[in-house]
Amino acid sequence: MSFAAPALLAAHPPYPTMWIRLWCPGPDRLYQRAFTLVDPDAAAGTFDLEFAMHEHGYAMDLARTARPGDVVEVSVLTRDDYVRPDPLPPGFVMVADPASLPAVNGILPTLPDDLEVRLWLGRQHDGDEDLPIAPHPGLQVTWVPHDELAARLRDGLAGVHGWYGWVCVDTVQTRAIKELLRAATGAGKRDGHAMGYWTKGRSTG
């Protein structure tokens, strides 16, 4: 879905993985939901949002019923965001799903060509594997059933010591995978990036 918001982008210059909170109408009040800016163009004052569609939720209602010209309120937070590591490690191991693919697609073009990237993606629906992934010469992509991400990663993390770990999937698996990545990369508590994007079986509230 495409948005025009010149004042927002002028006040908050976009950066890779920048996200905003959409205030989505519910039956009694507005509910905030986080979405990642796709292809933000500060000069034109535009950006897109990509919605990983699931059965129900106020953000889904908004996405399904939006019409050209509709207006939505948003808030901008810049907290707990991904910060590109400096110096860069030899590789990135990233774990994502359709909801966090916009963030992955924001990061990949910022990484040098000689950096290795192992991207694990959780498949939720038929056709997920056709979702566009930003090209990168060092990218290796592995799709697995979403619920098996943590289990499959246990055996798939050889040779990533010293790499940067990034995981943004459902909260339960994010927690487990964060520990797996920390052990495999040898990262300290503050290294890497891990954020639960949604909670299985529970509305964001």
Ligand X SMILES: Cc1cc2nc3c(=O)[nH]c(=O)nc-3n(C[C@H](O)[C@H](O)[C@H](O)COP(=O)(O)OP(=O)(O)OC[C@H]3O[C@@H](n4cnc5c(N)ncnc54)[C@H](O)[C@@H]3O)c2cc1C
Residues that bind ligand X (CB under 6 A): 19, 33-36, 50-52, 54, 56-60, 99, 102, 124, 195, 197-204
Quote the CA–CA distance of 120 and 141 in Å, as a whole number.
6
Least distance CB 3 / ligand X (angstroms): 12
Nearest to 184 by CA among 204, 205, 164: 164
Least distance CB 170 / ligand X (angstroms): 7
Least distance CB 195 / ligand X (angstroms): 6
Give me the phi and psi of 102, to 5 degrees please. Answer: -60, -35
Least distance CB 36 / ligand X (angstroms): 3
Residue 137, classed as helix, strand or coil, is coil
Closer residue to ligand X, CB minimum distance, 47 or 163: 47
Closer residue to ligand X, CB minimum distance, 2 or 203: 203
Q: CA-based angle 146:147:151, to the nearest 5?
A: 105
Closer residue to ligand X, CB minimum distance, 126 or 155: 126
Closest residue to ligand X: CB criterion: 57
Closer residue to ligand X, CB minimum distance, 55 or 114: 55
Least distance CB 116 / ligand X (angstroms): 25
35 to 50, 91, 137: CA distances (angstroms)? 8, 26, 27
Q: Which amino acid is at 49?
A: L
Quote the CA–CA distance of 35 and 197 in Å, as a whole number.
10
Closer residue to ligand X, CB minimum distance, 164 or 197: 197
Give me the phi and psi of 199, to 5 degrees please. Answer: -120, 125
Rg for the chain, CA atoms, rounded: 17
